Copies of this chain bind each other. A is one copy, B any other.
Amino acid sequence: MALKDAPVLSHVSCGDCPIRHRAVCARCESDELVALERIKYYRSYEAGQTVVWSGDRMDFVASVVTGIATLTQTLEDGRRQMVGLLLPSDFVGRPGRSNAAYDITATTDLVMCCFRKKPFEDLMAHTPHIAQRLLEMTLDELDAAREWMLLLGRKTAREKIASLIAIIARRDASLKAEGRDGPLVFDLPLTREAMADYLGLTLETVSRQISALRKDGVIVLDGKRHVTVPDIDRLLLEAGDDSDGGFIG
């Protein structure tokens, strides 16, 4: 288990950072990195902990180093919708805004590399490489949000589940950089309830559709969380996406 006794990690050199090449600092030269290094600090959260509540003052921005966090919105009567799934290297918070717009929750044990907002903004003004990278990341997130909107607005429950499993499978494969084909094997990092919040469904429907995909042989389950995808193309077909599961040039 994770961070029992280390709410703040010891200082890790940026050169050794696992997200060095993907995070907001990806494009920085070594002198820029030194400046970032000077103002950074780590925070960790246990699975289930809330990082900030929507509307609360938030005096820092951060990169996810390890673990997974979610952004969610809530209607007064309790209906919840996840609007962001933050994986390692993703950026948290918004320069130029002082209060959080969403609830941020750690769904696994989580470590973030934080910068107090003011110093970060000042640094950004002098460091185009940071602003450039942040723009690029934000545009990617916008694309992801739009893909997600298609899912929420137009896909069936079964397609939603298949899509989510495909997304997780793809991410996992890219991380492990596995051999091209052969069955994919991974763990679902989300509870049924979190999946429901992601997909705009109830947890019962999520459970039913997962069972259905299992029954039809699209996925194989070992326990609640451990998944094998024997045929990724079959899964993508079920997801209803454009043939290729495709990316843009």
* Chain B residue with Cβ nearest A248: B101
Residues of B within 8 A of A136 (CB): 96
Residues of B within 8 A of A155 (CB): 75
Q: Is the CB of A142 within 8 A of B141?
A: yes
Q: Is the CB of B83 within 8 A of A146?
A: yes
Q: How far is the CB of A61 from chain B (nearest CB, A)?
A: 12
| A99-B143 Cα distance, complex, nearest whole Å | 13
Contact residues of A between 142 and 185, Cβ < 8 Å to B: 142-143, 145-150, 152-155
In the assembled complex, A222 has its CB within 8 A of some CB on chain B = no
Q: Is the CB of B146 within 8 A of A102?
A: yes
Residues of B within 8 A of A96 (CB): 136, 139
Please tell me which one of the listed residues B81, B83, B131, B148 contacts residue A132 in the complex, with CB atoms under 8 A apart.
Answer: B131
- Contact bitstring A78-111, B, C-beta under 8 A = 1, else 0: 0111011000000000101111011000000000
Residues of B within 8 A of A131 (CB): 128, 131-132, 135
Q: Is the CB of B200 within 8 A of A153?
A: yes
Q: Is the CB of B139 within 8 A of A81?
A: no
In the assembled complex, A31 has its CB within 8 A of some CB on chain B = no
| A79-B240 Cα distance, complex, nearest whole Å | 10
In the assembled complex, A71 has its CB within 8 A of some CB on chain B = yes
> Interface centre among A132, A143, A153, A248, by most B CB within 10 Å?
A153
Q: Is the CB of A73 within 8 A of B150?
A: yes
* Chain B residue with Cβ nearest A57: B249
In the assembled complex, A243 has its CB within 8 A of some CB on chain B = yes
Given A76-B242, A199-B153, A249 and B97 touching (CB < 8 A)? yes
| A136-B143 Cα distance, complex, nearest whole Å | 16
Q: How far is the CB of A205 from chain B (nearest CB, A)?
A: 13
Q: Is the CB of A79 within 8 A of B135?
A: no
- 23 pairs, CB–CB < 8 Å, chain A vs chain B: A55-B248, A73-B147, A73-B150, A75-B154, A75-B242, A76-B243, A79-B154, A83-B149, A84-B146, A96-B139, A99-B249, A101-B248, A128-B128, A131-B131, A138-B138, A138-B139, A141-B142, A145-B145, A145-B146, A145-B149, A149-B152, A152-B152, A152-B153
